[in-house]
Structure 1
Amino acid sequence: GGAALSYSIFDRFTFGGGGGAGEGNDDGGSSGGRGGGAVLIRANAFQCTGVIRAAGLAAAPSPGSDGAGGGGAGGAVLLRSTDVLDCREVEAPGGRGGDVATSDHVLGPGGGGAGGRVLLQGQGLVFKLNVSAGSAGLSAFPGADSHGATPSVPDAGPVLDGGPSTGTLQVLNVPYQLPGTPVLTAPAAGEMATTTRPRFEGTADTNGPVVHIVVDGREVGATVPASDGRFVMTPVASLQPGGHEVVVWAETFGVASTASTLVRFTSPQVVLADGGVVGMAVLVVPRNGDTTGPTPLFAGTATNGITVGVVIDDGPDKIVPVDLLGRFGFQVPDSEPLSVGVHKVTVHAHNETGDDGPYSDVVGFEVVVAGADGGTGTDAGPADPAVPMMVVPAQDATVEPTVTFVGVALPDTAIRLELDGVALVTVTADAQGVFRHEVARAAALGTGAHRVVAQVVTAEGEAGLRSPEVGFQVRGPTDLDVGCGCGAAPAGMLGVWVLVGLAILARRRARG
């Protein structure tokens, strides 16, 4: 059997599906009837004395001991006139299902085809319209009646010319014409907008068109003008800082106007309450081309942002806070796992009022699940996520005397750092499983070789699992005016969080 197609006749039309062939095992059945096809005519005027028809054809009866085919669906008739539309008869009915002649045993006759679609626009009169569904075929087996599909109303029995399989009629007693070209009055050409969500204003026809607003080649919204023809629309999403181009166009009953004159304007930078500019957020994890589990962590850094919006597959913002170190993270919850396959993500920072800062580059990644795509699930390695791991410094790295130790462990785990065999400090891993400790200038490390170990401290205060020992070198002298051992420049911080993010990702995949 077929399935109904739902669409607007103003946007598209179909030719009517052909009926399905009947059941067969010895070539004794019949084929389905052909679909009705389509008639599309646009003219200054219509004066019709005959019938304009796009009817589905009936299926032939079954000549042997197999089932009969179904009737073809009605097609589409679209007649649009700029003046008079005077047609005597327009039809797009469905075809009748095929009969089964054998009376030896029960075989299925064909179902009736659904009615088609008719759109008439103009000034005039059509005396007869028909978009009825076809009736089902009949079986010759005694008492079998009809077993073919028949248009019906639920719980009300068969209805030959009604029910959900009847086609649709759309009659517009207005002339077919292009809507007038709308005029954009705001923003003005060359204007510097005061917000990243500027109001678009203008005038259009008063006969009910829809006005579409297109910025930089992408539609940002649509609106219906008021009774005086004026329209106003504020986009939901903020525009990027910088120059933009906007045009508007109108649509009435599926007919588009010409585009308005192009207007160039500038969107401002997004600023904080203290005057600082919201910079582009940087996504550190995942990297482009990475594979993740169905609940990946998205983490990175943001310059001068209050919150960050994480946008997965063009969905709504997942808004998360930015901490004092400029870090953000969003963990996809277990209750909303991503589907297996390719996805994309981008991020952007906000100011206090929620205005969007610049969007980051799109990052593509793939969600894999062991067994779901033929994978073995062993590519994450044998690492035990309960064992802490040092990320900074790396083995044999050379760092500043005020190095920042960074590592990963299970979230909310107490971690004791041992430096050269002596307890240095106890810290707690955050909700993302990251722990860190910055060596103060007063306690700057001496020049030369050192080693560091991270060890779990249990709730009872006992020593737990230990990380592998990491050996590193401290460059001298110790009185240099330096900052974080991972590099004070943004690029240095970015490198650290790439390493941390990858470590977290690997451990999450190992746990999965």
Structure 2
Amino acid sequence: MFERFAFGGGGGAGHGSDTAGSSGAAGGGVVFIRATSFDGKGVYSASGSAAEASSGNDGAGGGGAGGAVVLRAVDVLNCVAVESRGGAGGDTRLDKLPFGPGGGGAGGRVLIQAKSIACSANVSAGSAGVSAYPGAGSYGATPAATAPDAGTPDGGTSAGTVQQVDQAFQVPVTPVITAPASGEASATTRPRFEGTAGTNGPVVHLVVDGREIGAAVPGADGRFTYDPSTPLAAGAHDVVAWSESLGVASSPSAPVRFATPAVVLADGGVVQMAVLVVPGNGDTVGPTPLFAGTAANGVNVGVVIDDGPDHIVPLDLLGRFRFQVPDSAPLSVGTHKVTVHSHNEAGDDGPYSDVVGFEVVVAGADGGTDAGTADPATPMVLVPEEGATVDPTFMFVGVALPGTTVQLELDGTALALATADDEGVFRHILTAEKALAMGAHKVVAQAVTAEGEAGPRSPEVGFQVRGPTDLDVGCGCGTAPAGMISVWALVGLGALARRRRARS
């Protein structure tokens, strides 16, 4: 009720074979008032309506559910009553057979808040209708009602809820950020945020560069602290804070600009952002998925699944990393997220990659998406991604079973053969002589058997090649991760193996 509320639902119509049944009744609405005080003998109501009776051989409609009443005052709240009752279900009048009466509507929701409250609340459920057939009572409709002829139908109550807050309504105090100071250059990528706020039970939300990073609860003295769990990228940042108490938000604080340092390697190089290649955002995987990607430099890479601990894995000489979820600790079925980051020798975290969301399914478990039906022999193109924009020369990257020969087909014409390495990754570099024309293109990867016969084909991937005027100044790269791999191609894999750490 502090953050959201709903209108009451309407009752269902009575079942029937002709037009003798009655319609379902309307649900209750919403009363939402904030004031200095409420005084008088009024009744604030958002009750559901009662259903009409059925006069023939059809069922009766159900009562409407109660809606929501929110009354919040700074001083006093005096009234006769606050109501969000469910409406009664309709009766059935024909006594030849026990035709079904309508069920009663559920009670709604009430929130009342003030320094002093003298106002009764009623969120009772509406009673079920009664059948005119002797002994039938409510004939299974609920909530239970006792018929005049002593029928005792089954059923239970469906009362609503009342929340009463015996304190004055007020907007929380706007927080003040005291650390970091404006213009401060922090010595860490995880600076502690400190400040002051009210003492009336607020939660302080911290927002850095337009994105909430966490929340803190002030102590009895109104002071709060927050230590980020994720490092901030190197450079300048703006932080603001706002308080929330009982669903009411304060104004945002004055922004504070500060700077965080880069994470530096022992040789002076700056740790760059790692890139996760597999899985892609929105992919469906099994319970023990493989996470693989690239990192321009760093000592090792941390893989963080669902904000859990670092799974630290090494980098090979080509800057690649991989982490396979073990069979002993499979991921649960459902949605998950993952991000990756490189470390320096001291174990400091470099910048985190963008969050990748994926879904874990078990083959055939939901009768729909089946992670077990994909043919592992089918190659997949990973770079470029569908809809990506790349340079005229870049590197195609994909995955297939280790040792598989793959035919790359560009715009319906054979382009080149590539072989998947021991990691199941295949590549093909477009040289300047094979530079692609500006505009739209599409690529397909097809497995080729040892006898030269065509095997499974990947889904078609469409992408765009940018023109010379669109190229990034000072960069021969395309979109990540293709851009990062194309840079490696330009500097040479041998040079990369000798210089894993990029100089700042």
Instruction: Give the unaligned 5+ runs of structure 1.
Output: 1-8, 398-405, 410-428, 436-464, 469-487, 497-512
Partners of 1:320 and 1:329 within 8 A in 2: no
Whole-Å separation in 1 of the counterparts to 2:81 and 2:266? 69
Q: Is 1:188 paired with 2:181?
A: yes
What is the CA deviation profile of residues 121-151 of structure 1, one whole-angstrom value per residue up to 9, with x for unaligned ones? 2233324221111111122223322211217
Q: Is 1:81 paired with 2:78?
A: no
Secondary structure of 2:74's counterpart equals strand
After TM superposition, the structure 1 stretch with the greater mean CA deviation from structure 2, 73-82 or 258-267, is 73-82
Equivalent position of 1:477 in the other structure:
none
What is the CA deviation profile of residues 477-510 of structure 1, one whole-angstrom value per residue up to 9, with x for unaligned ones? xxxxxxxxxxx995129998xxxxxxxxxxxxxx
Equivalent position of 1:19 in the other structure:
11
TM-score by length of 1: 0.66
Whole-Å separation in 1 of the counterparts to 2:322 and 2:66? 55
Shift of 1:108: 2.2
Equivalent position of 2:234 in the other structure:
241
| Map 1:59-78 → 2, pairs under 5 A | 59-78=51-70
The code of the aligned residue for 1:209 comes to P
Task: Determine which of 210, 230, 246 is the counterpart of 2:223.
Answer: 230
Q: Is 1:218 paired with 2:218?
A: no
Task: Determine which of 281, 301, 304 is the counterpart of 1:308.
Answer: 301
Change (3 A) 1:185 1:322: same
Equivalent position of 1:356 in the other structure:
349
Whole-Å separation in 2 of the counterparts to 1:10 and 1:387? 56
Task: Determine which of 106, 115, 119 is the counterpart of 2:111.
Answer: 119
Partners of 1:387 and 1:467 within 8 A in 2: no
Partners of 2:141 and 2:153 within 8 A in 1: no
Task: Determine which of 159, 169, 177 is the counterpart of 1:176.
Answer: 169
The code of the aligned residue for 2:179 comes to A
| Map 1:289-438 → 2, pairs under 5 A | 294=286, 297-310=290-303, 316=308, 319-325=311-317, 326-331=319-324, 335-336=330-331, 347-351=340-344, 355-360=348-353, 388-389=403-404, 408=420, 429=422, 432=423
Task: Determine which of 28, 31, 37 is the counterpart of 1:39.
Answer: 31
Whole-Å separation in 2 of the counterparts to 1:203 and 1:98? 57
The code of the aligned residue for 2:259 comes to T
Change (3 A) 1:292 1:224: closer
Partners of 2:179 and 2:195 within 8 A in 1: yes
Whole-Å separation in 1 of the counterparts to 2:135 and 2:492? 80
Equivalent position of 1:481 in the other structure:
none
Change (3 A) 1:310 1:105: farther
Identity of aligned residues (%): 57
Equivalent position of 2:126 in the other structure:
134
Aligned residues, how many? 399
Partners of 2:331 and 2:360 within 8 A in 1: no
Equivalent position of 1:266 in the other structure:
259
Change (3 A) 1:267 1:248: same
The code of the aligned residue for 1:301 comes to T
Equivalent position of 2:429 in the other structure:
none
Shift of 1:74: 0.9
Equivalent position of 1:251 in the other structure:
244
Equivalent position of 2:196 in the other structure:
203
Shift of 1:102: 2.2
Partners of 1:387 and 1:466 within 8 A in 2: no
Partners of 1:80 and 1:122 within 8 A in 2: yes
Secondary structure of 2:489's counterpart equals helix
Equivalent position of 1:492 in the other structure:
489
Partners of 1:272 and 1:304 within 8 A in 2: no
Change (3 A) 1:315 1:102: farther
Whole-Å separation in 1 of the counterparts to 2:43 and 2:4? 23
Partners of 2:339 and 2:353 within 8 A in 1: yes
What is the CA deviation profile of residues 429-474 of structure 1, one whole-angstrom value per residue up to 9, with x for unaligned ones? 4xx4579xxxxxxxxxxxxxxxxxxxxxxxxxxxxx9798xxxxxx
Instruction: Give the unaligned 5+ runs of structure 2.
Output: 146-151, 381-399, 407-413, 427-448, 453-484, 494-504
Whole-Å separation in 2 of the counterparts to 1:86 and 1:288? 55
Secondary structure of 1:491's counterpart equals helix
Secondary structure of 1:104's counterpart equals coil
Equivalent position of 1:53 in the other structure:
45
Change (3 A) 1:350 1:66: farther
Q: Is 1:99 paired with 2:114?
A: no
Q: Is 1:149 paired with 2:142?
A: yes
Whole-Å separation in 1 of the counterparts to 2:104 and 2:24? 10
Secondary structure of 1:357's counterpart equals coil
- Measured on the aligned residues, the alpha-carbon RMSD in Å equals 4.3
Whole-Å separation in 2 of the counterparts to 1:337 and 1:210? 31
Shift of 1:201: 0.5
Partners of 2:401 and 2:424 within 8 A in 1: no
Partners of 2:172 and 2:243 within 8 A in 1: yes
Shift of 1:114: 1.2
Change (3 A) 1:346 1:387: closer
The code of the aligned residue for 1:388 comes to G
Secondary structure of 1:492's counterpart equals helix
Whole-Å separation in 1 of the counterparts to 2:402 and 2:323? 23
Shift of 1:199: 1.0
What is the CA deviation profile of residues 193-244 of structure 1, one whole-angstrom value per residue up to 9, with x for unaligned ones? 2222211111111111111111111111111110011101112222122111
What is the CA deviation profile of residues 57-92 of structure 1, one whole-angstrom value per residue up to 9, with x for unaligned ones? 111112221111111111111112222221121111
Partners of 1:22 and 1:66 within 8 A in 2: yes
Equivalent position of 2:22 in the other structure:
30
Query: Highest CA radius of gyration, 1 or 2?
Result: 1
Whole-Å separation in 1 of the counterparts to 2:80 and 2:214? 42
Partners of 2:127 and 2:144 within 8 A in 1: yes
TM-score by length of 2: 0.67
Whole-Å separation in 2 of the counterparts to 1:132 and 1:271? 65
Partners of 1:248 and 1:260 within 8 A in 2: yes
What is the CA deviation profile of residues 353-379 of structure 1, one whole-angstrom value per residue up to 9, with x for unaligned ones? 654322446779999999967999679
Shift of 1:306: 3.5
Partners of 2:93 and 2:131 within 8 A in 1: yes
